[in-house]
Amino acid sequence: MSNLEYYSLTRPEKFFYKIGSFFKSIPLGIWKFFKKTPSKLKEFFKKIFNPIINLFHWFVRGDALTKLNFLVMGIGQITRHQVLRGLLNLCYEIISVIFIVLIGAPNFTKLPTFGYVSSVQYETDEAPFIGYMYQDDSFKILLYSVVSIIVILILVFLWYTSIRDSYELQQLKYIGKNKSDKETLKGLVGKDYHKVMLSIPTLGIAIFTIIPLFFMILIGFTNYNSNHMNPKELFDRVGLGNFQQLLGITGGQNGTQFALVFVQILIWTLIWAFFATFTNYFLGMIVAIMINKKGIKLKKLWRTILITTIAVPQFVSLLLMSKMLNTDTGVINAVLRELGIITQNIRFLTDGILVKVTIILVNMWIGIPYTMLMCTGILMNIPDDLYESAKIDGASPYKMYMKITLPYMLFVTTPYLISQFVGNINNFNVIYLLSNGGPIFSSINGEMITAQVFGAGQSDLLITWLYKMSMGEVFKDYGTSSVIGMVVFVVVAFFSLIFYGKSNSVKNEEDFQ
């Protein structure tokens, strides 16, 4: 279909045409994927084998110092005027070897079974006349093993770069040139300054994001819970057992009920993220348009009133609203009864459907001011000439909003929308402080819940359910909560990568004026 034919279609026809084009593109996309797979695999293996080929080349053509650098990191740099860089490599090698020998290797040997003995009981002379000598800790064994893997990977990378630098210094020496520490430091504050500045956040991401994420994934394949926790017991592998429980393929009524609760919470999480994002976005934009409209008086006053909700800490507002909406002692029910509007208290936070509507409405109260402030600045940058030209052509305010304001706003704020949607998937505060995830699931499709669902509530998100599961007072199940964490990660990654990459803000960034 040509562009002229497409623009001649009505809105419903354009909508269904896009849907049809999307499904038609799926087989073509699959075919392109498999068509590119051989070349992608070739590039992948090339990237893997190139370093091996380079190492062989450097060993064969390297001098004695370069060959010695294969064993002693940094020796080729220290002896060729790069003393500081060589000493740093050598220190890291020594520290890594000590760490691996003293901590990494002992834990690696216990990794297949996560330890052998958790604790040994012995008699004492004092009450209660029984003592415990703690031996293996499965948690520490797994954690130290993960850290050891990271240390080894960094060691391999530095070992490779050290040999490469040694060989390059050898080649420079052949032509009578040297590269000293002074030149290296000059480069760090010059052309390589960005590497220095990015190294700190990269290290932080590795320590506080990558290692915990990798550790969480491994925990998801274990039975780490209150019944398998040091010093009581060691935990063990369960393979895909936790995934099977989540999907209800473990068999039995308990497994099915647990899966049904998971599906209900997953659906509500996506519904909540959608409404919490777009209600705040569009209503905040409309409020900003109304306040910034010519002829509106006391603009600063209206902005100040809305900003006041931001000045109050969010958790204070949520706790206050929770008390006001309480079924028995809430102020709102008391006022409505006094006015004769109701005869029975409204269950704002204890009714399965009403609590979800209430949460979305309260979130609008605390979220619209943020969007209003953001949209105010963007709206001021839209050229007035566009609106004046549209008025001359006889465009209505609705037409100007749909054709000028909204496209401009979406172009600028699409990354913000995506981040807000992702953030609302993990919006712990609003749900936990307002309703604590309640009301509790007691039945599904008329069938009583008999499975262990860790106090799952009908307004729980995956993140709040995960918290209850891993921080429960009676029983904790870290293995299953890790699997739920993986589900959250997959959902967030899907929306972040797919929609962000498809947005005009990224694809047509140069079009923004």
Residue-number span of the structural domain to which 178 is assigned: 62-239
Half-sphere exposure of 278 (CA within 13 A, CB side): 7
How far apart CA 61 and CA 473 sit, in angstroms, is 64
Residues 501, 377 share a domain:
yes
Last residue of a domain, one of 239, 272, 300: 239
pLDDT confidence tier of residue 35, bands split at 50, 70 and 90: confident
Give the tokens for residue 40.
Answer: 């992608």
How do residues 95-142 score in pLDDT, each as one tens digit?
Answer: 999 999 999 999 999 988 888 887 776 667 666 656 666 678 898 899
Domain boundary among 213, 239, 265: 239
pLDDT of residue 56: 93
Answer positive or negative: Cα dihedral of 489, 490, 491, 492: positive
**Full 3-state SS string of 250-270:** CCHHHHHHHHHHHHHHHHHHH
pTM for this prediction: 0.81
- Is 114 a member of any domain? yes
33 & 112 share domain: no
Alpha-carbon distance 106 to 508, whole Å?
A: 54
Residues 163 and 136 both lie in one domain: yes
Give me the amino acid identity at 260: L
Where is 513: in which H helix or E strand?
Answer: none
Query: Does 320 map to a domain?
Result: no
Query: How many Cβ atoms are within 10 Å of 132's Cβ, its own excluded?
Result: 12
Report the number of distinct structural domains present in the chain.
3
Please compute the mean of the pLDDT values over residues 281-287 and round it to a whole number.
91
- The answer to whether 243 and 479 have CB atoms below 8 angstroms apart is no
Task: Identify which of 196, 5, 162 has the alpha carbon closest to the alpha carbon of residue 90.
Answer: 162
Please tell me the distance from the alpha carbon of residue 192 to that of residue 190, in angstroms, as a whole number: 6
Q: What single letter denotes the amino acid at residue 391?
A: K
Q: 177 and 202 share a domain?
A: yes
206 and 127 in one domain? yes
- Whether 73 and 146 map to the same domain: the answer is yes
Q: What is the mean pLDDT of residues 262-286?
A: 93
pLDDT tens sequence across 433-447: 999 998 998 887 777
Q: Based on the domain organization, do 161 and 265 belong to the same domain?
A: no
Pairing, β 119-123 against β 130-134: antiparallel
